[in-house]
Amino acid sequence: MTPVMLITMVLCFLLTISVAVSIGLASVLGIHLSNVNMLISVKELFSSINKFPLAAIPFFILAGNIMDTGGISRRLVEFAKSIVGGVQGGLPMTMVLTCMIFAAVSGSSVATTFAIGAILIPALIKHGYPRPYAASLQATSAELGVIIPPSIPLILYGVSAEVSIGELFIAGVGPGLFIGFALMLFVWIYCKYKGWGHNDGEGRLGVGRATLKAGWALLMPVIILGGIYGGVFTPTEAAAVAVFYALLVGMVIYREIRITDLFGILRKSVISSAVIMFIIANAGLFAFLLTRAGVPEAIGLWLKDILESPGLFLLGVNITLFLIGMFIETSAAILVLAPILVPVAIYFGIDPVHFGLIMVVNLAMGMITPPFGASPWG
């Protein structure tokens, strides 16, 4: 049964069928071959999404779309440009820094791409940067949205592996900032090597003026992350607070969102949320069938036999997850693989919170690497 499911799923991927549908078709075929009552699929599909922490996902997506429409993202770009835009290569560095700030609220690489890319990709092209470079830098910078908390993939990992989401968020701060600043350093060196970006400082505001204009926008990540780490509200409640604050700033303070805009914002957010939830539901059913067939235990025992140390295990996992991320969407990969790999990691004495960051970072890198090179949902 299991080989047939895996072959079916891979074949569907090769036929460019969507990830969620591919996993769902493989699961339905697995149920049929194992002579299980088909009604169990309904129960498992519902159980997969009937989890309170998952409520944060649509709220964070909605908050990101409100920020985009409400002028918050544009002010964040102006603020970031005021800090790093004065040097050669300052405009692409602005893109990275803005994505880092935006990631501290949206939790989604897709929301970050839409909000920041719509502003900065045309600006980079206008300043003479090649279009492929602008697009690839945006895709890479947007992946900071799944590492810097709050992060939708970290929420999914926490639910799948039964790990504290708050601890995962705290653990994501260091790696996210390190990767972001390392990327900015590389961009600066690369632009100097290529001779790009001598005029990136055009139209740059002073730091004081830009900070004043973006003050309400900059207060948003402070409230959200400060509330989570201070124990004021849970990550799920923080997502609802983010929506309320973004609406308040966009409609009352900046006054760039009209009542008529709300339908479009909600529609876009519902579509994005439905895609993720559909993936979660089908991946949950797939994982249930694999667990029922004893696949996680078998893989765990096999890995314990061939990998004799935690170092070898981590090396193998890093390479494998990076390769998997090149072909399979991040959310689906986490939901299927986390229940399999986390028990093995614990056996080797690896903290599951640490392992969660390893999974998310490697899958994120894989998703911006050919052949697919697509930014993940979440």
Q: Is residue 24 part of a domain?
A: no
Q: Are 250 and 348 contained in the same domain?
A: no
Number of domains in the chain: 2
Q: Which of 228, 257, 286 finishes a domain?
A: 257
Task: Transcribe 72-136 into DSSP letters.
Answer: HHHHHHHHHHHHHTTSTTHHHHHHHHHHHHHHHHH--HHHHHHHHHHHHHHHHHHTT--HHHHHH
Q: Which of 209, 235, 257 finishes a domain?
A: 257
DSSP 274: H
Q: Is residue 59 part of a domain?
A: yes
> Of the candidates 284, 68, 56, 223, which has an alpha carbon nearest to the alpha carbon of residue 153?
56
Which pTM was predicted? 0.80
Q: Are 199 and 300 contained in the same domain?
A: no
Q: Is residue 2 part of a domain?
A: no
Q: Is residue 332 part of a domain?
A: yes
Note the pLDDT of residue 372: 55
- Rg from Cα positions in the chain: 21
> Of the candidates 168, 201, 182, which has an alpha carbon nearest to the alpha carbon of residue 97?
182
Helix (H) or strand (E) holding 363, with range, is: helix 352-367
Q: Are 240 and 347 contained in the same domain?
A: no
Q: Are 210 and 76 contained in the same domain?
A: yes
SS3 198: coil
247 Rama class: left (phi>0) / alpha (psi -120 to 50) / beta: alpha
- In Å, how far are 46, 248, 281, 354, 361 from 258, measured between CA atoms? 36, 12, 34, 43, 38
Q: Is residue 287 part of a domain?
A: no
Q: Are 300 and 220 contained in the same domain?
A: no
Note the pLDDT of residue 293: 77
Residue 314 tokens read as 């981590």
| Residue 156 contacts residue 356 (beta carbons within 8 Å) | no
Q: Are 58 and 156 contained in the same domain?
A: yes
Q: Are 92 and 223 contained in the same domain?
A: yes
Q: Are 212 and 341 contained in the same domain?
A: no
pLDDT tens sequence across 56-111? 888 888 888 888 888 888 888 889 989 988 888 899 999 999 988 888 777 777 77
Terminal C-alpha separation, the chain:
31
Peptide bond before residue 150 is cis, with ω within 30 degrees of 0 = yes
Q: Which of 205, 230, 257 finishes a domain?
A: 257
Cα 11–chain centre separation: 26
Q: Is residue 39 part of a domain?
A: no
Q: Over its length of 378 residues, how does the chain's per-residue pLDDT go in tens digits?
A: 678 887 888 788 778 788 778 888 888 888 888 777 777 888 888 888 888 888 888 888 888 888 888 888 888 888 998 998 888 889 999 999 998 888 877 777 777 777 788 888 888 898 889 999 998 898 889 888 888 888 888 988 998 888 988 899 889 999 999 999 999 999 999 999 989 988 877 778 888 888 888 889 888 888 888 888 888 888 888 888 989 999 999 999 988 999 999 999 999 889 888 888 888 888 888 878 877 777 767 777 777 777 778 888 898 889 888 888 877 778 778 887 888 889 889 888 999 999 999 999 999 888 887 755 554 444
Q: Are 70 and 172 contained in the same domain?
A: yes
Q: Is residue 284 part of a domain?
A: no
pLDDT tens sequence across 110-132? 777 777 888 888 888 988 899 99
Q: Are 184 and 303 contained in the same domain?
A: no
Q: Are 299 and 243 contained in the same domain?
A: no
Q: Are 180 and 227 contained in the same domain?
A: yes
Q: Is residue 42 part of a domain?
A: no
Q: Which domain holds residue 322?
A: 295-373
